[in-house]
Amino acid sequence: MPSLSLTSNNSSVDPKKEKKMKKKIVLDTQETDPLMVSIKKEKKKEKRKAVEFDGDDEERSETSSELCEPVNLKKKSKKAKVVEEEEDGEEVKAEDPNAVTRFRISEPLREALKKRGIEALFPIQARTFEDILNGCDLVGRARTGQGKTLAFVLPILESLVNGPAKASRKTGYGRPPSVLVLLPTRELATQVFDDFRVYGGAVGLNSCCVYGGASYQPQELALKRGVDIVVGTPGRIKDHIEKGNIDLSLLKFRVLDESDEMLRMGFVEDVELILGKVEDVKKVQTLLFSATLPDWVKNISSRFLKPTKKTIDLVGNEKMKASTNVRHIVLPCSTAAMPQVIPDIISCYSSGGRTIIFTEKRESANELAGLLPGARALHGEIQQSKREVTLSGFRSGKFLTLVATNVAARGLDINDVQLIIQCEPPNDVEAYIHRSGRTGRAGNSGVAVMLYDPRRSNVSKIQRESGVKFEHITAPRAEDIAKAAGVGAAETITQVSDSVIPAFKSAAEDLLSTSGLSAVELLAKALAKATGYTEIKSRSLLTSMENHVTLLLESGKPIHTPSFAFSVMRRILPEDKVESVTGMSLTADGNGAVFDVKKEDVDTFLAAQENAAGVNIEVVKALPSLQERDRPRGRFGGGGRGRGGFGDRSGGNRFSGGRGGRGGGFSDRRNGSGGFKGRNNGNKW
């Protein structure tokens, strides 16, 4: 079980305090935190060569020594060992080889970093900084949440104000941009723009953000006035170039962030057109970053980047491609059970923080958001202005559950996302890596739960390709959820003013003297009531359906098909009971079949084995390994035989009294819901 957090989600927490606390946690966990460990490893690796994944050793050796020679950090080490006096008098030894002071980062930029709690560079930043500042084209790869954005923001800014790009940079009114950053989504563009705005602002550089779905006029105005950095999505940038609003003649840097996604999304032509507008490519530095770099992107990078490019790949051939700060969990769950199970997963694993739920299709996101109290949907079909409101509401803590398509899978950096839930395994491993990477960022930890239909999932493919060793769990047990809810309720009760005691005291005393229960037992009941729990129902291991039990059938010989299992049961059970079976799945060893039956039918099934020699039926205590089958196209998972969707079960509430607060009230909303609809065509978000 996860540890249950006592922290309440209080959006009014002083952000400064919150940052300080986080910093303390990071310091306290330095020895165990994989990121910190990796930072330490990086210190040792400092002088090692970057991994070259496209085997262009020859190209590397031809790298211009003037431009791409690594800077001798030793010169800085003396300064780095200086003991610095912090504002609050705390002494901090800047002996970390990745300390900001060890890099050619100017004072205003250092100050801006310090204000955001950044005193040392993360490995990807440390490993790429000097190369970028020295003028190299570069391909950078690091796991999600490891600071790839600042890995290009900082050296670019430094180059523009103090480095090689300074001399030829224009500064007056109407100046053309020096930097062009392309990103696949508007949300990401806004986020990266924000970093350029803050850090660029600190060194007197202007940025603007241009993306589709927003009005042209303010963008045109900003470009006309002159900016140093333009961040945006390829489509809108192309439009501005064609309208003559963006002049790339003095461009110094072009950055492709989340490059594989941008190219996968079909922006190849736009990107090529934009890059092709640069007349003298020798004068422009091109940087390409992502957590995932499929082979085809590596090939394509050779067209966009100079042959002397450097490649810094912090993932390389390591088996684990996904975030190492995340607990990766899989949980069998039918579509029909999701509205019941998801709130419980949130109760148990979100530690009171934010949760992002990923669905494959927009319809599913809308539907699930409608079923989960307080949740909002985010996908590509939602109007841009509404998307912005939704995202900023989620960021600010107005609501804590976001149900999104892959539009939110990439790059989004949202504070305190503790939990990721994927409603089904995605089709490709890159999507798994990026989605799960929305948590466990910047050295923090997180949990990623992937729901799957045990009969038709590609969990093992994702496990193999991502290197993740999944933890297998079953849906949270009612007792666990009640315990988690009880902790929260107990905390709330302690916050109730003492002034209420006199008014309720005599009723409490009466209850204590007449109920025959102890004070603790009564208080436990009161906590249950406060959290909306008046009865606890059990759940099946196979599909997580409430009031269902998973049974194992063995017939004394191999069971190769579900229909064989059904035929065995037809010999010993009435037809209506056989028809009520759901989730029929074959065990991986080929000797049995597991399925769900209603709780009240369990005895009938167990008794039936007496009617046939060699047949064994038993209640499953732990779900055995099951055979995986190809997932059918055109349908979202499915609960029982031929069934799918949220609304097609009449299974009652686990808690007869419903539940209050967060995670409550599904049963009412579920009525009349049309269930997940079939997949829409194409790969639209």
Ligand X SMILES: Nc1ncnc2c1ncn2[C@@H]1O[C@H](COP(=O)(O)OP(=O)(O)OP(=O)(O)O)[C@@H](O)[C@H]1O
Q: Which residues bind ligand X (CB under 6 A)?
A: 118, 120-122, 125, 142, 144-150, 291, 411, 413, 437, 441-442
∠342-346-349 over CA atoms, to 5°?
125
Q: Side by side, which strands form the sheet with 138-141?
A: 207-210, 229-232, 179-182, 253-257, 285-290, 138-141, 310-313
Q: At what angle do helices 123-133 and 148-161 cross, to 10 degrees?
A: 30
Neighbours of 270 (CB within 10 A): 20
**Smaller CB separation from ligand X, 288 or 593:** 288
What is the C-alpha to C-alpha distance for residues 683 and 685, in angstroms, rounded to an integer?
7
**Smaller CB separation from ligand X, 411 or 446:** 411
What is the C-alpha to C-alpha distance for residues 396 and 595, in angstroms, rounded to an integer?
44
- Shortest distance, CB of residue 442 to ligand X, whole angstroms? 3
What percent of the residues of the chain are helix, what percent strand, and what percent coil, each to the nearest 5? 40, 15, 45
Question: Residue 50 region, left (φ>0) first, then alpha (ψ -120 to 50), else beta?
Answer: beta
What is the C-alpha to C-alpha distance for residues 596 and 602, in angstroms, rounded to an integer?
9
**Smaller CB separation from ligand X, 290 or 457:** 290
**Smaller CB separation from ligand X, 38 or 457:** 38
**Smaller CB separation from ligand X, 155 or 411:** 411
What is the C-alpha to C-alpha distance for residues 644 and 675, in angstroms, rounded to an integer?
7
- Shortest distance, CB of residue 183 to ligand X, whole angstroms? 10
**Smaller CB separation from ligand X, 348 or 447:** 447
What is the C-alpha to C-alpha distance for residues 100 and 122, in angstroms, rounded to an integer?
10
Among residues 428, 413, 421, the alpha carbon closest in space to that of 466 is found at 428
**Smaller CB separation from ligand X, 73 or 602:** 73
What is the C-alpha to C-alpha distance for residues 379 and 480, in angstroms, rounded to an integer?
33
**Smaller CB separation from ligand X, 103 or 636:** 103
- Shortest distance, CB of residue 439 to ligand X, whole angstroms? 10
What is the C-alpha to C-alpha distance for residues 257 and 237, in angstroms, rounded to an integer?
15
- Shortest distance, CB of residue 182 to ligand X, whole angstroms? 14
- Shortest distance, CB of residue 270 to ligand X, whole angstroms? 21
- Residue whose entry in the numeric block shows the structure tokens 């079923």: 371
267: DSSP letter: I
- Shortest distance, CB of residue 264 to ligand X, whole angstroms? 15
- Shortest distance, CB of residue 113 to ligand X, whole angstroms? 8
**Smaller CB separation from ligand X, 80 or 485:** 80
Measure the CA dihedral 160/164/168/171, to 10°: 20
Check: CB of residue 132 under 8 Å from CB of residue 138. yes
Check: CB of residue 131 under 8 Å from CB of residue 285. no
Long-range own/partner contacts, residues 191-197 (CB < 8 A, 24 or more apart): 191/149, 191/411, 191/412, 191/413, 192/149, 192/153, 192/231, 192/257, 192/411, 193/231, 195/149, 195/150, 195/153, 196/153, 196/157, 196/229, 196/231
What is the C-alpha to C-alpha distance for residues 50 and 37, in angstroms, rounded to an integer?
19
**Smaller CB separation from ligand X, 121 or 586:** 121
At 535 the three-state DSSP class reads coil
Contacts of 61 (CB under 8 A, 6+ apart): none
- Residue whose entry in the numeric block shows the structure tokens 């008794």: 607
**Smaller CB separation from ligand X, 118 or 256:** 118
- Shortest distance, CB of residue 255 to ligand X, whole angstroms? 12
Check: CB of residue 169 under 8 Å from CB of residue 158. no
**Smaller CB separation from ligand X, 437 or 639:** 437
Question: What are the backbone angles phi and psi of residue 574, rounded to the nearest 5°?
Answer: -65, 150
- Written as one letter, the residue type at 597 is V
Which residue(s) pair with 402 in the sheet? 356, 376
**Smaller CB separation from ligand X, 63 or 406:** 406
- Shortest distance, CB of residue 295 to ligand X, whole angstroms? 19
**Smaller CB separation from ligand X, 310 or 321:** 321
- Written as one letter, the residue type at 209 is C
- Please list, residue by residue across 531-568, b when 16 or more beta carbons sit within 10 angstroms of its beta carbon and e when fewer do: bbbeeebebbbbbbbbebbbbbbbbeeebeebeebbeb
- Shortest distance, CB of residue 320 to ligand X, whole angstroms? 15
- Shortest distance, CB of residue 3 to ligand X, whole angstroms? 23
**Smaller CB separation from ligand X, 118 or 586:** 118
- Shortest distance, CB of residue 149 to ligand X, whole angstroms? 3
- Shortest distance, CB of residue 145 to ligand X, whole angstroms? 5
- Shortest distance, CB of residue 26 to ligand X, whole angstroms? 8
What is the C-alpha to C-alpha distance for residues 402 and 439, in angstroms, rounded to an integer?
13
What is the C-alpha to C-alpha distance for residues 41 and 264, in angstroms, rounded to an integer?
33
- Shortest distance, CB of residue 685 to ligand X, whole angstroms? 17
- Shortest distance, CB of residue 147 to ligand X, whole angstroms? 3
Among residues 534, 537, 549, 521, the alpha carbon closest in space to that of 477 is found at 537
**Smaller CB separation from ligand X, 287 or 485:** 287
